[in-house]
Amino acid sequence: MTVLIRPDLAALDRIDPLRPFRDRFALPQGVIYLDGNSLGALPRATAARVAQVIEAEWGRDLITSWNKHDWMALPGRIGDKIGRLIGAAPGETMVGDSTSVNLFKALAAAVRLKPGRRIILSEPANFPTDLYIAEGLAALLAEGHELRLVEPDAIEAAITDEVAVVMLTHVNYRTGRMYDMARITAKARDAGALVLWDLAHSTGAVPVDLNGAGADLAVGCGYKYLNGGPGAPAFLWVAERWHGEVTMPLTGWLGHAAPFAFETRFRPATGIARGLVGTPPILSLAALECGVDILLDASIAEIRAKSLRQSALFAQLIEQELAGHGFAIVSPREDGARGSQVCVAHEHGYPIMQALIARGVIGDFRAPDILRFGFTPLYLGYGELWDAVWVLKEIMEDRSWDRPEHHARARVT
Amino acid sequence: MTVLIRPDLAALDRIDPLRPFRDRFALPQGVIYLDGNSLGALPRATAARVAQVIEAEWGRDLITSWNKHDWMALPGRIGDKIGRLIGAAPGETMVGDSTSVNLFKALAAAVRLKPGRRIILSEPANFPTDLYIAEGLAALLAEGHELRLVEPDAIEAAITDEVAVVMLTHVNYRTGRMYDMARITAKARDAGALVLWDLAHSTGAVPVDLNGAGADLAVGCGYKYLNGGPGAPAFLWVAERWHGEVTMPLTGWLGHAAPFAFETRFRPATGIARGLVGTPPILSLAALECGVDILLDASIAEIRAKSLRQSALFAQLIEQELAGHGFAIVSPREDGARGSQVCVAHEHGYPIMQALIARGVIGDFRAPDILRFGFTPLYLGYGELWDAVWVLKEIMEDRSWDRPEHHARARVT
């Protein structure tokens, strides 16, 4: 492999077809942001749109905005927009609540579609909230459901006729490893099990084709690659073929067939609307839509091509520039098995990441020893990859990572 | 009773100690807003605060804001502020998710604290989401729980030793009838049952003393009298004496004892933090805090005194000015049994309300025949009550309510 120099990366920036999208984000000076997989950057349109919703809609039109500005349509309208990024048909996706709450809905719905089966199959390194929600649901149901955790390579063999639902995060939050969605889904279907995909680290980052794969349920996150803002509403997707029989566990008034009839008994709405629970969070939805709209203007194929090139180059630069400093690349090197991040293990990962952040290179740390770097092709340039690795090299060579302030544990890591 | 004239009401405005609070809201010209019980008005501070969170916190400090701006503390910080309005101790209240989702948490927690009991007791005219959530939970548990609905006057007699939890909305959404919280709670305690209060139409409108009453659990809404914005996050309150044994059904990662340890098994956080589920919705929380802060600067006793005076005067004006037009006041006339609204039945309630709204007098309609008027003493004047009734009188006398456009049904009523 030839040695990379900074002009190679600058040249890639000059021919980058996604380069114009960077101007649609408000990025701070002096920061190289490699954490859009944790909190996406701020779209330039968001502040004005949220101000409009606050001042012109809420402030001026008050309660009449539910009709006048069709606030009630937002969960479905934004859901359909996200649906275009994940291979969903219109009417299959709704936005609202958190990813965790949507996981609960989807998982409860799944196990009730498979009443004779007791196994929820996942992997021990899944994102913890997925496992906790499953554990909590099994305890609540008290019907002997078991959360069975097997390593990724053993998932397929573990999909037996006892399995109600295979619950996996498509791209692992810590390693960036990506499952073959079509393959796992087909294997589950053959065994009569359902598949619930958590697309938190996929949506807006890698091409997803839920209907093409024949998936059953999915959830995803609004504040990572969709750039919807901190704690943005999440989404729930249910394949249309299940809409007639799916039973939601959180039967709030907005999932009712006629919410404003104020009936005493629950009758579920038709379609994905039965996944709605409470009153939609309008300010947050408005912000999310600004982020989603940018994605819809871009080509997910171009995003994926740039993401793979960026992650491969970043890994190559780590190896080229930081040999002998104790870093081990954890993420898969094979393109088809890698999401949009590169995770690097180091025994001093925590203080090294704090030192990087102090120098304006922002990634994050995942216990016990992972430095995580995410690639967001809409606003991250190639030259920045070089600069980030250069800062990392300086930190390692002058051992500035070992200063006491970088060892202090923050509340949020 | 003496006949009221407009100068009587104008005189009350001149001596109103809450009058200065009106300037803290951005109210549209030409509108008399009697629907703050459905969507509270916009505080003047909100737009700037949300813009700051978007541009200076999210935009500039990105992921580091979780620590730098202590975003993670918002659910507890705002929870404690709301707690001061409802007689909670610090550490008993958290903000996040919708009222419906919090009801699910609280109700599931309650029935699990009373494993031998199978009755969830409520009233048929409770707000539907409360009933739907209970119905959905009972179906999910599949342990034979029964949602037993009895009329308000029969609640006390129905609190037997089969009852796990009495689930009531303190102030009824349709009639404005208010329960005697201390009395019902004491009765439940004597029977070994828990009480779950829905404070959607109470918080910020009437004095509430959960700990004084000995209540067990409560939920409430952020977008009504707290002026948090459309779909604002709701809150969950659990009495401290239950914190050690309460089990939440939605076990998301932020309810974990150590969220950033990323452990495989769930260990609940200490205290009310175990009611957290997913990532907090920061933009919405920032908006909510602006609304709550205004309430904390006011005296709830003064709010209550003005609210009772306003609702009594409004009812009196309806009777004085609209006799013979077919209106019947549904809300209790007795102060101690009335929340902060006056509900009026009329067989043509729907088109009459649409005609009022078209003339700038905004209340809302609740099926089948209720015109609902809410009183928000922080920004509603006495003179406006006269003006609202005057417009209603004109609409009835010229029969303009009967125009075709007022009969057209809106999506949201």
Q: What is the pLDDT of residues B195-215, one digit of tens each?
A: 999 999 999 999 999 999 999
A119-153, pLDDT tens digit by residue? 999 999 999 999 999 999 999 998 999 999 999 99
Mean pLDDT of B35-42: 97
Give contacts of A 39-78 with B, CB under 8 A: 39, 41-42, 46-47, 50-51, 54-55, 58-67, 70-72
Give φ, ψ of B168 to 5 degrees. -130, 150
When pLDDT is cut at 50, 70 and 90, the band that residue A26 belongs to is very high
Cα dist. A213→A86, A121, A184, A231 in Å?
11, 19, 9, 29
Is residue B412 scored above 90 in pLDDT? no
CATH topology of domain A6-42+299-407: Aspartate Aminotransferase, domain 1 (3.90.1150)
Can you give the three-state secondary structure of chain B, one letter per residue? CCCCCHHHHHHHHHCCCCHHHHHHECCCCCCEECCCCCCCCCEHHHHHHHHHHHHHHHHHHHHHHHHHCCHHHHHHHHHHHHHCCCCCCCCCEEECCCHHHHHHHHHHHHHHHCCCCCEEEECCCCCHHHHHHHHHHHHHHCCCCEEEECCHHHHHHHCCCCEEEEEEECECCCCCEECCHHHHHHHHHHCCCEEEEECCCCCCCCCCCHHHHCCCEEEECCCCCCCCCCCCCCEEEECHHHCCCCCCCCCCHHHECCHHHCCCCCCECCHHHHHCCCCCCHHHHHHHHHHHHHHHHCCHHHHHHHHHHHHHHHHHHHHHHCCCCCCEECCCCCHHHECCEEEEECCCHHHHHHHHHHCCEECEEECCCEEEEECCCCCCCCHHHHHHHHHHHHHHHCCHHHCHHHHCCCCCC
B54-108, pLDDT tens digit by residue? 999 999 999 999 999 999 999 999 999 999 999 999 999 999 999 999 999 999 9
Q: Is residue A191 within 8 angstroms of chain B, CB to CB?
A: no
pLDDT of res. B200: 98
pLDDT of res. A395: 97
The verdict on whether B224 is a catalytic residue reads: yes
- Measured in whole angstroms, how far is the alpha carbon of residue A113 from the centre of its chain? 26
Q: Are B220 and B202 in contact (CB under 8 A)?
A: yes
Q: How many CB pairs under 8 A join A and B?
A: 291
Domain spans of chain B, in order of start: 6-43+299-407, 70-297
When pLDDT is cut at 50, 70 and 90, the band that residue A1 belongs to is low
Mean pLDDT of A145-164: 98
Nearest to A128 among B70, B263, B364 (CB): B263
When pLDDT is cut at 50, 70 and 90, the band that residue A2 belongs to is confident
Q: Are A169 and A138 in contact (CB under 8 A)?
A: no
Percentage of chain B beyond pLDDT 90 is 97
Mean pLDDT of A68-75: 97
Residue A386, both tokens: 């070089």
pLDDT of res. A411: 76
Mean pLDDT of B232-255: 97
Give contacts of B 109-138 with A, CB under 8 A: 124, 127-129, 131-133, 135-137
Nearest to B251 among A65, A133, A255 (CB): A133
Q: Is residue B15 within 8 angstroms of chain A, CB to CB?
A: no
Is residue A105 scored above 80 in pLDDT? yes
Q: Is residue B38 within 8 angstroms of chain A, CB to CB?
A: yes
Nearest to B108 among A132, A140, A229 (CB): A140
Looking from the CA of A379 toward its CB, the CA atoms found within 13 Å total: 27
Nearest of A168, A129, A122, A139 to residue B256 by alpha carbon: A129
pLDDT of res. B410: 82
* pLDDT, chain B, mean: 97
Mean pLDDT of A225-233: 98
Cα dist. B348→A130, A138, A383, B365 in Å?
50, 49, 68, 10
Q: Edge-to-edge strand order for the sheet containing A194-198?
A: A93-95, A235-238, A217-220, A194-198, A163-169, A119-122, A146-149
Which residues of A have a catalytic role annotated? Answer: 127, 198, 223-224, 372
pLDDT of res. B2: 86
- Spatial distance between the Cα atoms of B351 and B400, rounded to a whole number of angstroms: 9
pLDDT of res. A165: 98
Q: Look at B287 and A283 and tell me if their CB atoms are within 8 Å.
A: yes
B147-197, pLDDT tens digit by residue? 999 999 999 999 999 999 999 999 999 999 999 999 999 999 999 999 999
CATH superfamily membership of B6-43+299-407: Aspartate Aminotransferase, domain 1 (3.90.1150.10)
* Better pLDDT: B34 or A1: B34
When pLDDT is cut at 50, 70 and 90, the band that residue B1 belongs to is low
pLDDT of res. B256: 97
Mean pLDDT of B35-63: 98
Q: Look at B256 and A136 and tell me if their CB atoms are within 8 Å.
A: no
Is residue A43 scored above 90 in pLDDT? yes
A291-347, pLDDT tens digit by residue? 999 999 999 999 999 999 999 999 999 999 999 999 999 999 999 999 999 999 999
For B70-297, CATH gives 3.40.640.10
Nearest to B362 among A63, A263, A411 (CB): A63
Identity of the amino acid at B181: M
Min distance A359 CA to chain B CA atoms (Å): 13
A255-287, pLDDT tens digit by residue? 999 999 999 999 999 999 999 999 999 999 999
DSSP 8-state assignment for residue A269: P
pTM value > 0.90: yes
Q: Look at B149 and A66 and tell me if their CB atoms are within 8 Å.
A: no
Mean pLDDT of B124-139: 97
Q: Say yes or no: do domains B6-43+299-407 and B70-297 share a fold.
A: no
Paired with B168 in beta bridges are B197
Q: Given the structure tokens 């839509």, which residue do they identify?
A: A289
